[in-house]
């Protein structure tokens, strides 16, 4: 079985009848949404993107908003990088990082699905940074001031109407330090560093699925 599919289906088994489930974005998360849709559990889904909303409806998952269901039991989402031990994440290369983080902060248990190529000793990026469109060039300059090399994602606008700057660093600090610096920049709406959010990661590989849990 494909490693992504194996991880997605493994995590989908965590879904229980009556749950409110956060539905992530991206290719691996989409496989999990399909697996949940094939099940017979009566759940309510909270989608993290318009694309996920469309997919969830197509497979028969009933949807609600966070205003209607502010407490999420379980969220299954993908990641672009998963740091060993800490389970710090890089997310948002698909552009849905703002909604993904809002949902992650509302969930009791965030489970990541990925293949083993996404597991790293230390996150390095690029880090997607969502910025307001007004004077985005000035925001890019402020990002350069903390050592970033931002590149505008051409032709892309998020579901919330913002731009994405994909940021690389020649010398990057720890994920925690980078998140702190990004949080302090005017014009930044959100960024793709998810610090201390994931409870576990289901990682598909040639030998099956392994479950990584955050070190305490």
Query: Known catalytic residue: 130?
Result: no
Residue ranges covered by each domain of the chain: 3-118+194-204, 127-191
Model pTM score? 0.95
**CATH fold of 3-118+194-204:** Rossmann fold (3.40.50)
Q: Can you give the pLDDT at residue 194? A: 98
**Residue length of the chain:** 216
| Percent of the chain at pLDDT exceeding 70 | 99
- pLDDT average, residue stretch 135-159: 97
Whether the pLDDT of residue 125 is over 90: the answer is: no
| Helix-strand-coil split of the chain, %, nearest 5 | 30, 30, 40
DSSP secondary structure string, 61-107?
A: -EE--TTT---BSEEEE--SEEETTT--EE--TTS-HHHHHHHHHHB
Q: Can you give the pLDDT at residue 143? A: 98
Tell which wins on pLDDT, 1 or 63: 63
Q: Can you give the pLDDT at residue 1? A: 60
Give the strand pairing for 198-205 and 208-213: antiparallel
- Distance between alpha carbon 158 and the CA centroid of its chain, in Å? 14
Alpha-carbon distance 7 to 202, whole Å?
5
Whether the pLDDT of residue 191 is over 80: the answer is: yes
The active-site residue out of 9, 53, 81, 100 is 100
Its CATH class, for the domain covering 127-191, is alpha beta
Q: How far apart are the first and last CA of the chain?
A: 32
Whether the pLDDT of residue 171 is over 90: the answer is: no
């Amino acid at each position: 079985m494909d490693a992504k599919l194996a991880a997605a289906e493994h995590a989908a088994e965590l879904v229980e009848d009556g749950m409110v489930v956060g539905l992530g974005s991206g290719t691996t998360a989409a496989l999990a949404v399909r697996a949940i849709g094939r099940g017979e559990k009566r759940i309510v889904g909270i989608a993290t993107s318009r694309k996920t909303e469309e997919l969830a409806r197509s497979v028969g998952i009933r949807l609600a908003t966070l205003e209607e269901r502010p407490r999420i039991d379980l969220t299954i989402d993908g990641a672009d990088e998963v740091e060993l031990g800490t389970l710090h994440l890089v997310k948002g290369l698909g552009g849905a990082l703002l909604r993904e983080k809002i949902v992650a902060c509302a969930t009791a248990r965030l489970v990541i699905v990925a293949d083993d190529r996404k597991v790293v000793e230390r996150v390095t990026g690029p880090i997607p940074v969502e910025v307001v469109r007004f004077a985005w060039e000035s925001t890019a300059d402020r990002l350069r001031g903390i050592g970033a090399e931002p590149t505008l994602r051409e032709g892309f606008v998020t579901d919330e109407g913002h731009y994405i700057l994909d940021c690389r660093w020649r010398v990057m600090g720890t994920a925690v330090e980078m998140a702190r610096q990004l949080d302090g920049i005017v014009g930044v709406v959100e960024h793709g560093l998810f610090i201390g959010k994931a409870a576990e990661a289901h990682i598909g590989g040639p030998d099956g699925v392994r479950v990584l849990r955050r070190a305490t």
